[in-house]
Structure 1
Amino acid sequence: MAQKGKALRAVIAAALGASLLGLPAHAACRQALAMGLDVSGSVDLREYRLQLDGLITALNHPDVVAALLAAPDAPVSLLVFEWSGPVDPSVLVPWTPINNAAALQNISETLATTSRRDTSPGTALGEAMMLGAQYLDQQSDCWKRTLDISGDGRSNSGPRPRDVKQAIDARGITINALVIGADTQTSDRDQQSDIAELSSYFAAEVITGPDAFVQVSLGYEAYAEAMTAKLKRELDGMAIGRLQ
């Protein structure tokens, strides 16, 4: 009897939280996150590994774990894919509901054992945005759908991001960006200038949707910290409290 009462309280809590957020109470997940990682020609093997390991670190940060597991009855669902040229995308982690620590551990192990593939040159950012939106269309019942795009350069292949983002926004999808500065030997002032210019490009051409934002990483060495901050911001407010 107590177990049934606990289950009923969980359902009521989820419904109440959805109502307060103006979201459908019947949805099976509270947020779908499709994460697109840049593996274009500008990303070398070291930077590739820093990107994957940084995502693992971010997903296992205590604050991120707490947010991900806050409402297992309405979990966050995660997909991770790589993008480069128009014909190079690859799904590393298929849609996975994160409703317990084991699911998060499985995702981490998959990313830890992933090896770099050969990809064609080019940065097909618009294609990556459209592909991520197609993946998110598979999660149409989620309360919120977010596409994360990591990138260290402007689009130079395929459709322009500005020409595709409006249609994606109309589908109720938010696009956030993690902009990665080059790991160079230039002065801090030059590096700051370069990342500011790239961030402005992503802000104008890529991100879309309510509260969309650009997170900055000053090089791949800082990727884990930047990804952690981005995930904490994206998950903030989406955890549904339980009735006691």
Structure 2
Amino acid sequence: MRRRRLLSGVFAVLSLAGRRVRAADSGVDLLLVLAADVSLSISEARFDLERRGYAEAFSDPRVLRAIGDGPTGRIGVALFAWAGPGEQQVAVDWMVVGSARDAADFAARLLAVPRPFYGRTAIGSAIGFATDLLARAPFRAERRVIDISGDGTGNAGRSIAEARDAAVAAGITVNGIVILTEPEGMPAFLKEHTNPAGGLAAYYRSVVIGGEGAFVMTAESFAAFGRSLIAKLVREIS
């Protein structure tokens, strides 16, 4: 009887330890949703530059160093493409990035997915989708961030302010990275969309971002997107 009680106690301790290990395994320093704009104003060449920028950024030593410097040395990442209302598709579902091998896996998954949409620019709908994606994340983190890329103003879908405020109320930070395009040769409606009065970065600061420490970074062109994204990721992760 005494031996049975002793064994029961040992098994209980082992079971509790196992649960603690599994709980620790699910912890990351940051939950990051990357929302990649694939709306109509983004040509195939620009889309390719944008996608490669995302794929290569996580392999950059500065990004990997920022991840490694965190308490757990890893973050949870998901990426989806978005355009008009109802046009959101996960390209890379939730995964842990904590090493160069993880970064290579992220890039391989992303580059294997074809472009899904050519629709309008529903920024509010994208923020709402990202918020839902964070709610079903299989990892735990104190910090949760939505990272919206875009080359133009919102022109369809859910109210941006409503979606942003709902995300912020849930403890989520919404950041932005705007991609600038030269207006020369553009039709008037597209020029207004990609180059609003005051500038696209100012529009994002006023309308899109929100939450603790929220910020906007600017890529001067699609060719510069990857370099700007690296700086943005380092700032978000650190």
TM-score normalised per structure 2: 0.79
Unaligned 5+ segments in structure 1 are 1-24, 237-244
Tell me the residue number matched to 2:94.
Answer: 95
| Rg comparison, structure with higher value | 2
Task: For residue 220 of structure 1, give the secondary structure of its aligned residue in structure 2.
Answer: coil
1:71/1:198 Cα in 2 relative to 1: closer, same or farther (>3 Å)? closer
Query: Partners of 1:197 and 1:234 in 2: how far apart?
Result: 23
Alignment of 1:128-167 (within 5 A): 128-139=126-137, 141-167=140-166
Tell me the residue number matched to 2:59.
Answer: 60
The answer on whether the counterparts of 2:124 and 2:158 sit within 8 Å (CA) in structure 1 is yes
Query: Partners of 1:227 and 1:99 in 2: how far apart?
Result: 18
Q: What amino acid maps onto 1:82 in structure 2?
A: A
Tell me the residue number matched to 1:174.
Answer: 173
Task: For residue 145 of structure 2, give the secondary structure of its aligned residue in structure 1.
Answer: strand
Note if 1:222 corresponds to 2:224.
yes
Between 1 and 2, higher relative CO (CA 8 Å, sep ≥ 6) is seen in 1
The Cα offsets for residues 104-137 of structure 1, whole Å up to 9 and x where unpaired, read as 11111122333223x2521111000000011111
Note if 1:127 corresponds to 2:103.
no
The answer on whether the counterparts of 2:85 and 2:158 sit within 8 Å (CA) in structure 1 is no
Query: Partners of 2:231 and 2:54 in 1: how far apart?
Result: 11
The answer on whether the counterparts of 1:28 and 1:141 sit within 8 Å (CA) in structure 2 is yes
Unaligned 5+ segments in structure 2 are 1-23, 186-190
The answer on whether the counterparts of 1:72 and 1:100 sit within 8 Å (CA) in structure 2 is no
The answer on whether the counterparts of 1:72 and 1:99 sit within 8 Å (CA) in structure 2 is no
TM-score normalised per structure 1: 0.78
Query: Partners of 2:104 and 2:71 in 1: how far apart?
Result: 15
The answer on whether the counterparts of 2:38 and 2:118 sit within 8 Å (CA) in structure 1 is no
Using the aligned pairs only, state the percent identity.
Answer: 29
Query: Partners of 1:57 and 1:234 in 2: how far apart?
Result: 17
Note if 1:204 corresponds to 2:206.
yes
Q: What amino acid maps onto 1:45 in structure 2?
A: E
> RMSD in angstroms over aligned alpha carbons?
2.3
